[in-house]
Amino acid sequence: MVKYLILTEKPSAAKNFAKALGGTAGHFADFDFRIMNLRGHLMTFKEPEAMVAEPLVKQYKSWKLVDMPWNLKDLSWQRTYIKTRTKGATNKQLLDQIKAELQTGYDGIVIATDNDPSGEGDLLAFEAIDAMRWQGQVLRANFMDETPPAIQQAMRQLLVIPDKWEFGPYLKGESRSRWDFASMQLTRIATTLAKGAGYSVVAREGRLKSVIIWKIYEQWQKIKAYVPVPYFEVKFKDPAGHIFARAVDKKATEIAWRFKDKQAGVQDLTHYHESPVTNEQHATKRQAPPKLLDLAGLAALLAPSGLSPKQVLSTYQKLYEAQYVSYPRTEDRNVTFEQFNELLPMVDQIAQLVGVDTRLLTHRQARSTHVKNQGSHGANRPGTKVPSDLGQLDKYGQGARQIYTVLAKNYLAMLAEDYIYDHVTAELQDYPAFKTAFNVPIKLNFKAVFNPDSDDATVEKAGALGPTAKPNLAEGTNPKPQTPTTKWIMAYLEKQNVGTGATRVSTLSEMSQGSKSMLNESKGKLTPTQTGEISAIMVENTWIASPKITKRLFAMMDEVAAFQMPMSQLLHSVTQVIEHDMPQMTENVQQLSARLGPPPKKRKVKAKPKAEQVTGVYKGEEIHFAKTWGNHTFTDQEISDLLAGKTITFETTTKQKKPFTAKGQLGKRTYRGNQYIGFKLIK
């Protein structure tokens, strides 16, 4: 009987697989199995100096700018264990346990990690497989989500991977990983130059980070430079409040009938009189429901309520693991026919749960705009497991109710009819250039279920037009640049087609966390920290901050996965980016003090006086050790006893000044990798 070891990405996934297959070990389909789990990435690339030949070690260890860009052919791309410990086991110990199990006799490893569009799940699985030096068969389980039917279907359709270098998802993950590692040179370049100018920060210049921080910084510069310039122009208004105005060419720098001087506007007003309204037109129009959400769209909608990208990402992941929502890191904005039909029986239950009138859900046929025979995981949506009430979701993290409700209403909107409205237009008889246009709702339909544009100013419940409109002098100002928000930056990245919904959210979350964060986020409003401002200034006019270049890099990674481009060509683009950006950063650093003010003065730290040393012979060798330990200074007798290898006891205090009895002797100690002889406590 064939026997497989099923390797999941994390413990929660292992539990879901055990639930689907009837236990952590057993028989399914035509094979025996055992389920074991990783903990995400267990391996990472070694330091550059550990991946080059001996003559190059000193050069790569220094990270000097003069040695950049690196020759990537010098690197062996070897990995080592990430030094983390979870529940008492290091990453090496975890892999040793899996390796020991494999040695009991298995015919293959089934990769059951997340089926990410980025290839991340395949990469971390092969990192572990390579670390265990497994030479046997490797198979892939491609599952849409972690529900029992999806897992069971995937386990019946296992894909054999004869060679990882001929497996597109792995190639994509590995090429992205190598590109990002090599691009760390840009972070070192920017950081070194900034520190040289007196700004002690770490300027993290990643692919997506640089695009985001520059765009946000640039927008704030526009806001700071904004000066309101009032203007005056003639407009007409009818008794119902409809405004008639002339069309504005947004590209025009000067508009003849807009006046900076109010008196000139008053003078122009004398040229107009009350005019009849004419050419009233009514057109019944329809609007289809909005696209299904990705993680970026979900985060953008929830940001104003106070949910940060990190909270959305974390809580959504837990809801997914509990099978209440679909796979988070999808690139799809539609669902397949199979996914549509699978969720259809649950829609009434979901609607009642989130407060949607089921009588609105009359369009239960698949819409061609939302349901297609393409995609894999499908758009973000509710899962087939429906909670009995929303309070049941609270244990999965902050915002769980809001996440589920928005996700559900967005999906249910697809099952409502099109929004129908009356589009009304008219003009003035005596002045045809003055026109009005507005919408009057006829049937809200899907907008009564989910309306992300509830602040849409074009929807008016206006009275009847005309019969006449009177001229008046209207005052306006040049528009102020929009404040950067989560919704704003997500819309920009989507328009530029840079990154996936999930990578946008995870990157924005990372940029907003920790003491070295690049952004402050508050209810969706995004403001650069000083670290963010420095990072932004350093990438002005660079390729790494160009959405066009970043979009091309994502496309190149897809081409590597599709065997349309060798990985070496993709990696060469790192060198090209660095060759372009390093001189630009050298130029940009000159702008730091002009834009941010002089760097903060460094506080002088008084050097601690070196402890007095004792010299003596210990075990036949001359040694030196400190005469003091903590708050205690060794007596001559204690020094003599220590050199003789004896144990001494004395009274002293802890750092918190609590008294205690110290007992110890001389022994080997290690400091920063160097061994020395010093006093050691005996517990």
Q: What does residue 547 show for φ and ψ, rounded to 5 degrees? A: -60, -30
Q: Which amino acid is located at 346 in the chain?
A: M
Task: Express each pLDDT in 134-175 by its tens digit.
Answer: 999 999 999 988 889 999 999 999 999 999 999 999 999 999
For residues 398 and 402, what is the distance between their CA atoms, to the nearest angstrom? 9
* 412 in Cβ contact with 394 (< 8 Å): no
Question: What are the extents of the domains in the chain?
Answer: 2-42+82-166, 181-225+484-596, 230-288+419-477, 295-413, 613-681
CATH topology of domain 181-225+484-596: Topoisomerase I; domain 2 (1.10.460)
User: For tokens 């050199």, what's the residue?
Assistant: 643
Q: What does residue 432 show for φ and ψ, rounded to 5 degrees? A: -60, -20
Task: Express each pLDDT in 330-376 by its tens digit.
Answer: 889 999 999 999 999 999 999 999 999 999 999 999 999 999 988 78
Average pLDDT over residues 277-285: 97
For residues 69 and 185, what is the distance between their CA atoms, to the nearest angstrom? 7
> Do 181-225+484-596 and 230-288+419-477 show the same overall fold?
no
Q: What does residue 633 show for φ and ψ, rounded to 5 degrees? A: -105, 125
Length of the chain: 683
Q: Which amino acid is located at 274 in the chain?
A: E
Q: Which of 301, 367, 213 is nearest to 501 (CA)?
A: 301
* Run of H or E including 660: strand 659-671
* 422 in Cβ contact with 284 (< 8 Å): yes
Q: In the structure, what pLDDT confidence band is assigned to residue 458 with cuts at 50, 70 and 90? A: very low
On the question of pLDDT at 457 being above 50, the answer is no
On the question of pLDDT at 272 being above 70, the answer is yes
On the question of pLDDT at 573 being above 90, the answer is yes
Q: In the structure, what pLDDT confidence band is assigned to residue 670 with cuts at 50, 70 and 90? A: confident
For residues 390 and 400, what is the distance between their CA atoms, to the nearest angstrom? 8
> What is the pTM for the complete model shown?
0.84
* 483 in Cβ contact with 245 (< 8 Å): no
Cis peptide preceding 599, ω within 30 of 0 = no
Mapping DSSP to helix (H, G, I), strand (E, B) and coil, where does residue 433 land?
A: coil
Across 462-482, b (16+ Cβ under 10 Å) vs e yields eeebbeebebeebeeeeeeee
- State the pairing for strand pair 31-37/2-8: parallel
* 216 in Cβ contact with 518 (< 8 Å): no
pLDDT recorded at residue 291:
94
Q: Which amino acid is located at 276 in the chain?
A: P
* Residue 533 vs residues 199, 585, 596: alpha-carbon distances, Å: 11, 14, 8
Using the 8-state DSSP alphabet, how is residue 513 labeled?
Answer: S
**CB count, 10 Å around CB of 233?**
18
* 337 in Cβ contact with 373 (< 8 Å): yes
Mean pLDDT, the chain, as a whole number?
A: 93
Provide CATH code, domain 230-288+419-477: 2.70.20.10
Task: Express each pLDDT in 284-322 by its tens digit.
Answer: 999 999 999 999 999 999 999 999 999 999 999 999 999
Q: In the structure, what pLDDT confidence band is assigned to residue 222 with cuts at 50, 70 and 90? A: very high
Mapping DSSP to helix (H, G, I), strand (E, B) and coil, where does residue 398 land?
A: coil
Q: In the structure, what pLDDT confidence band is assigned to residue 87 with cuts at 50, 70 and 90? A: low
Pick left, alpha or beta for residue 604 (phi over 0 → left; psi -120 to 50 → alpha; otherwise beta). beta
Mapping DSSP to helix (H, G, I), strand (E, B) and coil, where does residue 424 land?
A: strand
* 541 in Cβ contact with 584 (< 8 Å): yes
For residues 112 and 254, what is the distance between their CA atoms, to the nearest angstrom? 62
Q: In the structure, what pLDDT confidence band is assigned to residue 452 with cuts at 50, 70 and 90? A: confident
**CB count, 10 Å around CB of 359?**
8
Average pLDDT over residues 389-397: 96
pLDDT recorded at residue 612:
86
* Run of H or E including 475: strand 468-477
* 197 in Cβ contact with 592 (< 8 Å): yes
* 167 in Cβ contact with 161 (< 8 Å): yes
Q: What does residue 64 show for φ and ψ, rounded to 5 degrees? A: -75, 145
Using the 8-state DSSP alphabet, how is residue 335 labeled?
Answer: B
Q: Which class for 202: exposed (0-12), middle (13-18), buried (19 or more C-beta within 10 A)?
A: middle
Across 106-128, b (16+ Cβ under 10 Å) vs e yields bebbbbbbbbbbbbbbbbbbbbb
For residues 77 and 174, what is the distance between their CA atoms, to the nearest angstrom? 10
Q: Which amino acid is located at 49 in the chain?
A: E
If you average pLDDT over each of 67-76, 514-523, 633-642, which comes out highest?
67-76
**CB count, 10 Å around CB of 368?**
9
Interior angle at CA 666, CA 664 and CA 669, nearest 5: 105
The two structure tokens encoding residue 353 = 């749960």
pLDDT recorded at residue 479:
92
Interior angle at CA 642, CA 637 and CA 645, nearest 5: 130
Higher pLDDT, 499 or 425: 425
For residues 75 and 57, what is the distance between their CA atoms, to the nearest angstrom? 11
* 379 in Cβ contact with 292 (< 8 Å): yes
* Run of H or E including 73: none
Average pLDDT over residues 616-633: 88
Q: Which amino acid is located at 517 in the chain?
A: S
CATH topology of domain 2-42+82-166: Rossmann fold (3.40.50)
* 350 in Cβ contact with 408 (< 8 Å): yes
Average pLDDT over residues 589-611: 82
pLDDT recorded at residue 462:
64
User: For tokens 């940029």, what's the residue?
Assistant: 511
Q: In the structure, what pLDDT confidence band is assigned to residue 657 with cuts at 50, 70 and 90? A: confident
* 527 in Cβ contact with 520 (< 8 Å): yes
For residues 114 and 329, what is the distance between their CA atoms, to the nearest angstrom? 9
For residues 74 and 675, what is the distance between their CA atoms, to the nearest angstrom? 32
Whether the CA torsion 55, 56, 62, 67 is positive or negative: it is positive
On the question of pLDDT at 454 being above 70, the answer is no
What kind of architecture, by CATH, is found in domain 295-413? Orthogonal Bundle (1.10)
Tell me the chain's radius of gyration from C-alpha atoms: 33
Q: Which class for 80: exposed (0-12), middle (13-18), buried (19 or more C-beta within 10 A)?
A: middle
List the end-to-end C-alpha distance of the chain, in Å, as a whole number: 54
pLDDT recorded at residue 83:
86
* Residue 230 vs residues 52, 248, 255, 605: alpha-carbon distances, Å: 64, 16, 13, 54
The two structure tokens encoding residue 296 = 């970026």
The two structure tokens encoding residue 427 = 């003009």
